[in-house]
Amino acid sequence: MSNQATNHWGIIQVTGEDAETFLHSQLSNSIRNFKSPQEVRLAAYCSAKGRVMGSFFIWRYADAFYLLCQAELIGKLIQRFNLFKLRSKCVFSDLSTEYLYQTVLTPRQEKLVAETSESHHLLILPCLESNAHSAGLRMTPLTPKNTNQPQINQLLLAPPYYFEYALQQLGIAYITQTTYEQFTVQNMNYDLIGGVDFNKGCYPGQEIVARSHYLGKIKKRALLATTNQEVKPGQDLWLHADNPHEPVGVVINACRFEGKTYLLVEAPLQEAIEEKKQFCFNQTNSDDTFYLSAPPYDVLAKGNQLA
């Protein structure tokens, strides 16, 4: 197996006496009362219009919060945090280049957890069904004493992009530069997988998120697809047979793994799940059509399905 490091993830470290209060006021999920350094929470950072600008895996260690997201967004997100922190006493640090990121296989875990210490952080995903291992992302500081890749048992190293493949299979979407401000938290299913706390109070976009949850019907969700084509996030999705005049969905995430492209796409529930229609990436015709499927939780329900 390859020990090639992945460099498209990065960490924002948030410190200061007001770090918890400020993050709690900005993100879709509660940032209070972390029970242990092993606890990980999903959260979205929304615009005032309820569109997701950033998505995070968050854990707390000592007096700092760690926000894992796509490295290409970190500069933009820190700039926005600083714009709104006003007199809040908190510091945002980009640690992207201070860590080596490696995808590993870990002992089987049933839920999202973190292992963290001075020597490394390790984010572990829930195991895929019937798998003996879970996918993990190990983050090791590149200190002067550790400028080379850490000595990890070769048997624990995973193939490149296995972490992203596992995220797709679990139905956990994330924002990239291409999809910045394209989706709501409901389009990404964050309300179904513990990424939204509807009781925490105000944050940017909260009124729109709450209105959709309590008064609206969610017409589009993040669904799974597999194709042989090379596909990129932000690419339009079309219904195959109906040949509509406009696309019906958008690719949220695309991961090339073992010869296929695994996708999370924002798509209409009625056509994809209830009517089981075929989709494609060419509005006129396509030989490579495919069906969409639900992730391993109920996309027709409301509220956290993983609680």
What is the residue-wise DSSP string for 87-98?
Answer: T---EEEE-GGG
Mean pLDDT for the stretch of residues 245-259: 93
Q: What are 298's two structure tokens?
A: 């109920």
Taking 80 as the threshold, does the pLDDT of residue 74 lie above it? yes
**Confidence tier at 13 by pLDDT (50, 70, 90):** very high
The more confidently predicted of residues 2 and 286 is 286
Mean pLDDT for the stretch of residues 234-251: 85
The more confidently predicted of residues 147 and 298 is 298
Q: What share of the chain is helix, strand, coil (3-state, %, to 5)?
A: 15, 30, 50
Mean pLDDT for the stretch of residues 66-77: 97
Rounded CA-CA distance 39/218 in Å is 29
Alpha helices in 116-183 (DSSP H): 162-170
Beta partners for residue 58, in sequence order: 41, 67
Rounded CA-CA distance 143/168 in Å is 32
Residue-level pLDDT at 1: 35
Residue-level pLDDT at 132: 81
**Confidence tier at 283 by pLDDT (50, 70, 90):** low
The more confidently predicted of residues 138 and 154 is 138
Residue-level pLDDT at 2: 39
Rounded CA-CA distance 248/282 in Å is 12
Q: What are 291's two structure tokens?
A: 């069906």
Rounded CA-CA distance 25/245 in Å is 41
Those residues with Cβ within 8 angstroms of residue 269's Cβ, 6 or more apart along the chain or in another chain: 218, 219, 220, 221, 223, 299, 300
Rounded CA-CA distance 202/182 in Å is 21
Phi-psi region of 259 (alpha: psi -120 to 50; beta: other; left: phi over 0): left
Residue-level pLDDT at 304: 82
Taking 70 as the threshold, does the pLDDT of residue 155 lie above it? no
**Confidence tier at 148 by pLDDT (50, 70, 90):** low
Residue-level pLDDT at 124: 94
Rounded CA-CA distance 244/187 in Å is 21
Residue 241 burial by Cβ neighbours in a 10 Å radius (0-12, 13-18, 19+): exposed
Residue-level pLDDT at 130: 73
Read off the pTM.
0.93
Those residues with Cβ within 8 angstroms of residue 297's Cβ, 6 or more apart along the chain or in another chain: 171, 189, 192, 193, 305, 306
Contact 15, 60 (CB under 8 A): no
Rounded CA-CA distance 152/154 in Å is 6
Residue-level pLDDT at 264: 98
Three-class secondary structure of residue 303 per DSSP: coil
Residue-level pLDDT at 154: 45
Q: Looking at this protein, which amino acid is placed at residue 23?
A: L
Taking 60 as the threshold, does the pLDDT of residue 274 lie above it? yes
Contact 39, 20 (CB under 8 A): no
Three-class secondary structure of residue 106 per DSSP: strand
Residue-level pLDDT at 250: 97
Give the residue among 114, 119, 116, 115 at the shortest CA–CA distance from 146.
119
Taking 60 as the threshold, does the pLDDT of residue 28 lie above it? yes
Q: Which helix (H) or strand (E) holds 74?
A: helix 74-84
Residue 81 phi, psi (nearest 5) = -55, -45
Taking 50 as the threshold, does the pLDDT of residue 12 lie above it? yes
Three-class secondary structure of residue 71 per DSSP: helix
Mean pLDDT for the stretch of residues 188-196: 97
